Chain A
Amino acid sequence: MQDLVYGLPGGDGDVPFREPWELRAFALAVAAYHSGQYEWSEFQLSLIESIKQWEADGARAGQEPWSYYEHWLTALETVLAGSGLLSEADLDDRTRSVLATPKSANHHEPHREPVAIDPAR
């Protein structure tokens, strides 16, 4: 019962999101729904499907540990791909370029002058 004990109210498990990306993935799915990219029920079916798949793979060695929002992300990718809005190749390319970009890509050069000046009047 490690999972449930870990998840007892008051512990880390009591919050909706454990990592910032989870909240972002959540908001992206809701934003895409609000902008009319898919029906919410389509998204939910994809989410259920992804979870079922994980459960069916339960005994497989090396399976990724449970992460609700990874299923959420998979569901989002599936419905966006289904609407022709996202191809797996594009997403892979973009993901690689995000990974290749250092977090502080623009922070290495010293800026020795003020970045803007609003002159005295």
Chain B
Amino acid sequence: MSASHSTAPVASDHQAEVVARVKAIESIMIEKGLMTTEAVDRLAEIYENEVGPQLGAKVVARAWTDPVFKARLLENASTACAEMGIGGLQGEDMVAVEDTDDLHHVIVCTLCSCYPWPVLGLPPNWYKQPAYRSRMVREPRKVLREEFGYAVADDVEVRVWDSSSELRYWVLPQRPEGTDGWSAEQLEALVTRDSMIGVGAPKAAQ
């Protein structure tokens, strides 16, 4: 990931101040015995490298191949994910919304950037931009087409779901055509992060 490899000089005094404030908070917290450098390092590593959309892809692929599991997922996404050992901070009260031939879902958080970390990892930068947050609500079809190159057919309804700290949505995309008989492991590779946000389709079967 680019952040950890950034060697660019700090851009401005303001940036230098921000960087110093983060270091200052860490050193004060450590002095007070509230955390250790090792614990912070470990969390940074987990969220940078281990938690990510590959976990959500497993859940989606299982739902595509196991109708009983899918019913449980749509009933209660948090407990269904927990069956697969997937859960944690910001994974409480998740709701999976299912795309169909007539319906396409997109997620957004209008207030901050609530996002189901355990299944999708941390949100990409654009998800947190004020422009995405406000425009997706106003003109979802247009934003999907113009900004993400994802054209939703006119006869498909688009529903935009606002995640909050109480409920965090994510999209169960449609299983790609031409994948009859595929195993969950094969299907996993077709599930993209964007398809679970609702700004893209899963990859097509090769």
Interface residues of A (CB under 8 A from B): 1, 3-5, 7-9, 12-28, 30-35, 37, 40-41, 44-45, 47-48, 51-52, 55, 64, 66, 68, 70-71, 73, 76-77, 80, 85-86, 90-91, 94-99
Q: Answer whether residue B89 sits at the interface, using C-beta atoms and an 8 A cutoff.
A: yes
Q: Answer whether residue B85 sits at the interface, using C-beta atoms and an 8 A cutoff.
A: no
Question: Could you list 16 examples of A-B contacts with CB < 8 Å?
Answer: A1-B131, A7-B124, A12-B2, A13-B129, A20-B6, A27-B40, A28-B26, A35-B34, A45-B165, A48-B111, A66-B130, A70-B18, A77-B25, A85-B34, A94-B27, A99-B20
A9-B148, A26-B47 are contacts. A14–B126 as well, Cβ < 8 Å? yes
Instruction: Specify the chain A residue showing the minimal Cβ separation from B48.
Output: A23
Q: Answer whether residue B28 sits at the interface, using C-beta atoms and an 8 A cutoff.
A: yes
A residues less than 8 Å from B14 (CB atoms): 64
- Cross-chain contact A18 with B21 (CB below 8 angstroms): no
Interface residues of B (CB under 8 A from A): 1-4, 6, 14-29, 32, 34-35, 39-41, 43-44, 47-48, 89-90, 111-114, 121-126, 128-132, 135, 143, 147-148, 165, 194, 199-200
CA A68 to CA B17, docked complex, whole Å: 16
Chain B: minimal CB distance from A78 (Å) = 12
- Cross-chain contact B126 with A28 (CB below 8 angstroms): no
CA A20 to CA B147, docked complex, whole Å: 27
CA A71 to CA B34, docked complex, whole Å: 22
- Cross-chain contact A23 with B32 (CB below 8 angstroms): no
CA A2 to CA B89, docked complex, whole Å: 32
CA A40 to CA B6, docked complex, whole Å: 30
Interface residue from B20, B111, B124, B132 paired with A4 (Cβ < 8 Å): B132
CA A1 to CA B139, docked complex, whole Å: 13
B residues less than 8 Å from A32 (CB atoms): 29, 34-35
- Cross-chain contact B113 with A15 (CB below 8 angstroms): no
Interface residue from A15, A34, A91 paired with B24 (Cβ < 8 Å): A91
Interface residue from A9, A47, A66 paired with B112 (Cβ < 8 Å): A47
- Cross-chain contact B39 with A4 (CB below 8 angstroms): no
A residues less than 8 Å from B123 (CB atoms): 16
- Cross-chain contact B32 with A85 (CB below 8 angstroms): yes
B residues less than 8 Å from A12 (CB atoms): 2, 125
B residues less than 8 Å from A20 (CB atoms): 3-4, 6
- Cross-chain contact B44 with A55 (CB below 8 angstroms): no
CA A13 to CA B41, docked complex, whole Å: 24
